């Protein structure tokens, strides 16, 4: 298998993330127009429930596989690689099977007590096959990431999205189901269909005869087996807990924020509308930079694990600092963009000026969010997943405290949530940064890593403002904003090269590996 360089792997994954998210965004628009509001409502009730179920087998185990496969690969231990993959598939498959059985045997409880809507019986029933398929697909992607063979995993993600879109929209177009429950069920089945084709592609790219053709690859109960299982669990459990906390926090916010807003004097309708504008409109824009940081995290974990396995601490420090510099180059301009142009972006996308105000406030957390995300990936690669989970828990406690006490205070209202969110992001960032600095010498000189990107960003904002004032007299407002932002982004990249914030020669050589 051909290895992909760190920079090239990050670019490839970031591009794939952008394509997948763009396809998903278009799909949601087309789906809502095709099946209507009621069916979309049913679908949106089941889909988060499915995401909670698959969090357990798919959040920690694939990362553990990626890290440990990279370690074994650096030591040229091919037998260890495939034993690890076999064990992880058995572990993940066993957990997925257990969840499947529990949900299947308790369908009435799930429908009546948890989701509280009897119309969801068939959508929930047809969501169950996706649990196992997504689990195996995630583990295999982790395997390829560990080998630094990015293309199969990246291609599978695109294939999953395309297969789901084609199946669902074509079926709905030709059969035209009139009942919302049927339409929602088809949309849920589409999840399994898409994941199945992605999994099938990964299987075709990986010859499973390597696993089943040699008995030595199948782990048996021994000291080696127990050590391997211990390593898998030690890495995956803290990461899974952290992911579950994040999911539960989203659930708590969806319940708590509207309630506390009403305690502050908001009407029931106003409280729900305010929460909807924050969580459904402002937050998705806020998470846009995660297209890049997610790629960095997926890529940095096996890279650092591989270097640590051969005691190459110098390269560990180099790649950690490089990942942080890339994150800063992305996060600084986007933070400023949201603060300065939040109103225009919200008006362009949602036609909601108030969303822009929310985005401009909460975007002060963007830099901290991006940095904490990359820092956590570096620490996971170094085997420090326990401390990152503790740091995350401390941040969530702060956010929960602010949401409960400040949001209910009329002097703060919804701003109480923003205060808690920004403060929690900052605290997690600082704690992760302190943790990493104890193990790696950070080399982020202020002038080169902070001041130059900031000045380039300011120049970009000025260019955008000037262009808007010129173009608005000749083209539509929407086109003016789009053209100005695109040209501004292009100017920012050129400015980074001209100021030597980015070493173009080094960048090109890094892509080549």
Sequential pLDDT tens for the chain (513 residues): 556 667 777 778 888 888 888 888 788 778 877 877 677 777 777 877 888 888 889 888 998 898 888 888 888 888 888 888 889 999 999 999 999 999 999 988 888 887 777 888 888 889 899 999 999 999 999 999 888 888 888 889 899 999 999 998 888 888 877 788 888 889 889 999 999 999 999 988 876 545 444 444 444 444 466 788 888 888 888 888 888 888 888 778 777 888 888 888 888 778 877 887 887 778 877 887 777 788 888 888 888 888 888 788 888 888 888 889 989 998 999 999 888 888 888 877 777 778 888 888 989 999 999 999 999 999 988 888 889 999 999 999 999 999 889 988 888 888 999 999 999 999 999 999 999 999 888 888 888 888 999 999 999 999 998 988 888 788 887 788 888 888 898 999 899 888 888 877 777 776 655
**Whole-number pLDDT of residue 218:** 47
**Whole-number pLDDT of residue 213:** 45
Kindly state the DSSP code that residue 287 receives in the 8-state scheme.
T
What's the CA gap between 43 and 38, in Å, rounded? 9
What's the CA gap between 318 and 323, in Å, rounded? 9
Give the dihedral sign, CA 80/85/88/89. negative
CB atoms within 10 A of CB 133: 22
Q: Could you tell me the two tokens for 166?
A: 């084609």
Q: Could you tell me the two tokens for 132?
A: 């196992």
3-state secondary structure of 140: helix
Going by C-beta distance under 8 Å and a sequence separation of 6 or more, which residues neighbour residue 176?
none
220 — phi, psi (to 5°)?
-115, 165
What's the CA gap between 199 and 158, in Å, rounded? 12
Q: Could you tell me the two tokens for 307?
A: 């270097």
Using alpha carbons only, give the angle 437, 334, 371 rounded to the nearest 5 degrees: 15
7, burial (CB in 10 Å: exposed 0-12, middle 13-18, buried 19+): buried
Q: Could you tell me the two tokens for 311?
A: 């005691």
- CA trace torsion 236, 240, 241, 245 (10° rounding): 160
What's the CA gap between 439 and 441, in Å, rounded? 7
- Residue 151 and residue 4 in contact, taking contact as beta carbons nearer than 8 Å: yes
Going by C-beta distance under 8 Å and a sequence separation of 6 or more, which residues neighbour residue 32?
40
**Whole-number pLDDT of residue 397:** 92
What's the CA gap between 439 and 308, in Å, rounded? 12
176 — phi, psi (to 5°)?
45, 65
**Whole-number pLDDT of residue 420:** 93
3-state secondary structure of 442: coil
Going by C-beta distance under 8 Å and a sequence separation of 6 or more, which residues neighbour residue 120?
42, 45, 46, 111
Give the dihedral sign, CA 411/260/257/356. negative
> What HEC string does 138-179 produce?
HHHHHHHHHCCCHHHHHHHHHHHHHHHHHHHHHHHHHHCCCC
């Amino acid at each position: 298998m051909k290895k992909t360089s760190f920079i090239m792997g990050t670019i490839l994954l970031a591009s794939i993330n952008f394509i997948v998210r763009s396809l998903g965004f278009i799909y949601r628009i087309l789906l809502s127009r095709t099946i209507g509001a009621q069916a979309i409502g049913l679908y949106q009730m089941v889909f988060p429930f499915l995401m909670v179920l698959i969090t357990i087998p798919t959040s920690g185990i694939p990362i553990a596989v990626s890290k440990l496969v990279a370690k074994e690969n650096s030591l040229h231990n091919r037998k260890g690689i495939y034993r690890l993959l076999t064990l992880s598939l058995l572990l993940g498959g066993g957990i997925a099977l257990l969840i499947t059985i529990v949900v299947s045997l308790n369908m009435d409880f799930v429908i009546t007590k948890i989701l509280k809507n009897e119309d969801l019986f068939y959508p929930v029933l047809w969501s169950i096959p996706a649990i196992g398929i997504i689990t195996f697909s995630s583990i295999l992607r982790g395997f390829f990431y560990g080998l630094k063979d990015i293309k199969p995993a990246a291609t599978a993600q695109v294939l999953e999205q395309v297969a789901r879109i084609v199946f669902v929209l074509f079926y709905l177009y030709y059969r035209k189901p009139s009942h919302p429950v049927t339409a929602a069920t088809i949309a849920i089945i589409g999840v399994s269909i898409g994941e199945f084709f992605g999994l099938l592609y990964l299987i075709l790219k990986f010859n499973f005869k390597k696993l089943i053709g040699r008995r030595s690859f199948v782990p048996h109960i021994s000291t080696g087996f127990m050590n391997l299982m211990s390593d898998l669990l030690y890495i995956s459990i803290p990461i899974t807990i952290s992911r579950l906390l994040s999911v539960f926090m989203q659930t708590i916010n969806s319940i708590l924020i509207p309630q506390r807003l009403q305690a502050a004097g908001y009407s029931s309708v106003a409280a729900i509308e305010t929460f909807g504008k924050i969580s459904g409109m402002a937050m998705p824009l806020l998470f846009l930079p995660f297209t890049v940081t997610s790629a960095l995290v997926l890529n940095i974990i096996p890279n650092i694990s591989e270097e640590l396995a051969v005691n190459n601490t110098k390269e560990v420090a180099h790649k950690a600092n490089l990942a942080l510099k890339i994150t800063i180059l992305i996060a600084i301009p986007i933070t400023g963009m949201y603060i300065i142009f939040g109103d225009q972006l919200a008006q362009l996308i949602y036609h909601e000026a108030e969303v822009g105000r929310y985005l401009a406030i909460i975007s002060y957390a963007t830099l901290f969010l991006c940095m904490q995300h990359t820092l956590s990936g570096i620490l996971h690669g170094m085997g420090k997943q326990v401390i990152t989970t503790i740091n995350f828990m401390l941040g969530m406690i702060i956010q929960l405290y602010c949401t409960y006490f400040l949001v209910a205070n009329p002097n703060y209202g919804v701003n109480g949530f923003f205060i808690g969110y920004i403060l929690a992001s900052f605290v997690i960032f600082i704690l992760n940064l302190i943790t990493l600095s104890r193990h790696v010498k950070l080399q982020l000189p202020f002038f080169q890593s902070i001041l130059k990107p900031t000045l380039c960003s300011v120049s970009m904002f000025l260019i955008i403002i000037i262009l808007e004032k010129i173009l608005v007299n000749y083209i539509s407002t929407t086109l003016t904003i789009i053209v100005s932002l695109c040209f501004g982004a292009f100017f920012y990249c050129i400015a980074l090269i001209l100021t030597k914030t980015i070493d173009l020669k080094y960048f090109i050589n890094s892509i080549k590996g």
